[in-house]
Every structure is written in structure tokens, then in C-alpha cells.
Structure 1
Amino acid sequence: MGGDVYAWDETKRLMNIAKHGIDFTTAPSLDRNNAIIQPDTRFNYGEERFIATGPIGGRLHVLVYARRIGAMAGTTIIRVISLRKANKRERLVYEKAMADRADQ
């Protein structure tokens, strides 16, 4: 079988809902075909993290996550760290990146 499995810390999920009003359970809905995904190099986290900017339900969101190999062959665990609506700067960067992608 295989594919992605989403996981998160429940306390962190509740904190994210309180802070950003967005539940981690919506993370699998992020349209990865129309997302910009880049490594998160802001700090040394002790693990490789990624930032995905893409639409969920018609609104642009930013998902921070780490990937882990799952117990089942071909399975990747997407550990959600943060999920929020994109800010204006992030929307502009996304729009430019998508326009550049369309020009290729």
C-alpha cells in the first residue's frame, strides 16, 4: 500500500487552532500539485523541515512539516508542525512562483 499518513502532536494541534483558527486535520487537503515546497532553513531544528505554500479550499495556506519513513513500505509520515493562512508577502511570493512555473 503506501502513500502519506498525517500525524501531529495533539497539544500542538489545539494550540494551532487557538492561535490561527485552523485545525491540522485540514492539512491533507493542501493541494500539493499547486504548492510551492521548500526546505525550512531558518533554524537548525535537528530534523529536516519543509514549508509548503498552497491552496486549501480556495484559500492560500502555509504548512510547516517534517517527513518520516513510515512502518509500512512506501509510507511517508507527514508530521504537521504548523498550519495557517498565508500572509500578504507569502501570497505575493506564491503568485510570482506560480507565474514563473506557468512560463516554463
Structure 2
Amino acid sequence: MIIDFDPDKSARNEKERDLPFTAVERFDWEGALFHEDDRYDYPEQRFIGLGKIGQRVHVVCFTPTENGIRVISLRKANTREVKRYENVAHE
């Protein structure tokens, strides 16, 4: 899977959250939870993934591309999101 992203946006994310978009390469896609992000009328189909990078749960927003994904945002999951992930992961 090819992971694409805006390098300037990744640099801002790294500065603000200490989390560059290249970290998505370590995201646990197989164990992640996904849902479509339909909160707004986006110009493309977007998905939100909740899964681990290392031992910590993260949230990645992305859009599918022909050969992979384009990362829109990446952050550490908040307490509510971690609980949701853990509840579903242990079912």
C-alpha cells in the first residue's frame, strides 16, 4: 500500500503533535476499527481509523487512492476513543 500525504501538513502535525504522517507506516491496519467520515460534504470519501501505532491507540483520517491512501490527519486517541477501541478489540 502506498501512503501519500502533504509534506507541509505532515511537518505541521509533527511540530504540533510530535507525530509525522510517516508514522502511519506503523499503523496496525489489520487490528484497526474503521468508519466513514460523513460529518461534512467532503469532496472525496474519507475514513477514520482507530488503531495502534506501537502500544498507543491513534486516530488516522484518510482517503483511499488508486494504490493506497492519502493521509489527511493523524493524532493520538483521546480517552473515550481508547475505551471504544479496547471494548471492540476484546469482544
Shorter-chain TM-score above 0.5 = yes
Aligned to 2:86: 95
Q: Distance in 2 between matches of 1:53 and 1:21?
A: 18
Q: Distance in 1 between matches of 2:56 and 2:11?
A: 21
Instruction: Give 1:18 deviation, angstroms.
Output: 1.8
Flag structure 2 segments of 5+ consecutive residues without an equivalent.
Answer: none
Aligned to 1:65: 62
Aligned to 2:29: 32
Q: Distance in 1 between matches of 2:45 and 2:88?
A: 23
**C-alpha RMSD of matched pairs (Å):** 1.0
Q: Distance in 2 between matches of 1:60 and 1:34?
A: 11
For the pair shown, the structure with the greater C-alpha radius of gyration is: 1
Query: Which one-letter code corresponds to 2:11 in the other structure?
Result: L
For 1:84, which of 39, 64, 75 is the aligned residue?
Answer: 75
Aligned to 2:10: 13
The count of residues paired between Structure 1 and Structure 2 equals: 91
Instruction: Give 1:48 deviation, angstroms.
Output: 0.4
Aligned to 2:48: 51
Instruction: Give 1:53 deviation, angstroms.
Output: 0.6
Following TM superposition, the consecutive aligned residue runs of length 4 or more in structure 1 with deviations greater than 6 angstroms are none
Secondary structure at the counterpart of residue 65 of structure 2: strand
Instruction: Give 1:58 deviation, angstroms.
Output: 0.9
Instruction: Give 1:99 deviation, angstroms.
Output: 2.3
Deviations 1:29-82 (A, max 9, x none): 10111110111111111100011110101111111100111xxxxxx2310011
Flag structure 1 segments of 5+ consecutive residues without an equivalent.
Answer: 70-75
